[in-house]
Amino acid sequence: MTDPSHDYSPAAITSRRVLPGVLAIFLAVAIIVAAWLWWENQPPGTDSADAGFARDMTGHHAQAVEMALIAFERTGDPAIRQIAYDIATSQQAQIGMMTGWLNIWNLSTARPGEPMEWAGATDLTVPSRGGAGELMSGLMPGHLTQDAIDQLRTLDGTAMDIEFLRLMIIHHEGGIVMAGAAIDRANEDIVLDLADAISIAQTAEIAIMQDMLAEREGI
């Protein structure tokens, strides 16, 4: 039997030279693909925009839920009661989603640094509205001071309805700014999808509340 290693034909020599190179290329490609798949399946890090948005928007939503529950419990206006209910239930559900992400990613729900650090900017502001600057805490876009929330609790009737709408419009405008920052910076599809949904929903709710506010201020 002829020993293939002693085959010195051009085809055999080429085969012995080329095959190891081809195998090395395939091995390198396989390693690269495996590394890419591993990287793609890694959860976001604690300093990522995905995690930062989930933490900050959870806190932002919690304040909206607090305001909505105040209005729901104190108003005598069915339309105010309905929009307050819609905001409280939808944003509480989204809080559950974002908290669930952080748990799945094995990340703390506590913010490791300053608010909005994940956005890499400190000038994310909401559109200027009369007196809004004095109401906002500066922690996150549209986030209100505790004094503003406490003041809302003291009001009744149409005065409470008007103040609730005014505050929630400011708050929603800030939420849209935060959602836009996430759309520009996050990587996870679930985060991008929720940020987009928040932007769309809150833009629509602002339009509704602006009409409601105009009606009640005209009374």
Name the residue ranges covered by the structural domains of the chain: 4-40, 49-217
Distance between CA atoms of residues 164 and 213, nearest Å: 9
Could you tell me the two tokens for 177? 């700014």
65 pLDDT tier (thresholds 50, 70, 90): very high
Phi-psi region of 166 (alpha: psi -120 to 50; beta: other; left: phi over 0): alpha
What average pLDDT score do residues 10-22 get?
A: 54
Residue 10 in this model has a pLDDT that exceeds 90: no
What average pLDDT score do residues 54-72 get?
A: 97
In the chain, count H helices and then E strands: 7, 0
Q: With 0-12 CB in 10 A as exposed, 13-18 as middle and 19+ as buried, what is 194?
A: buried
What average pLDDT score do residues 41-47 get?
A: 88
Residue 192 in this model has a pLDDT that exceeds 80: yes
In sequence order, what are the beta bridge partners of 144?
A: 136
Distance between CA atoms of residues 178 and 195, nearest Å: 8
- Does domain 49-217 correspond to CATH entry 2.60.120.10? no
24 against 101, higher pLDDT:
101
In sequence order, what are the beta bridge partners of 71?
A: none
Residue 187's pLDDT is 95
**Chain centroid to CA 175:** 9
What average pLDDT score do residues 169-197 get?
A: 96
pTM for the whole structure: 0.79
Distance between CA atoms of residues 201 and 129, nearest Å: 21
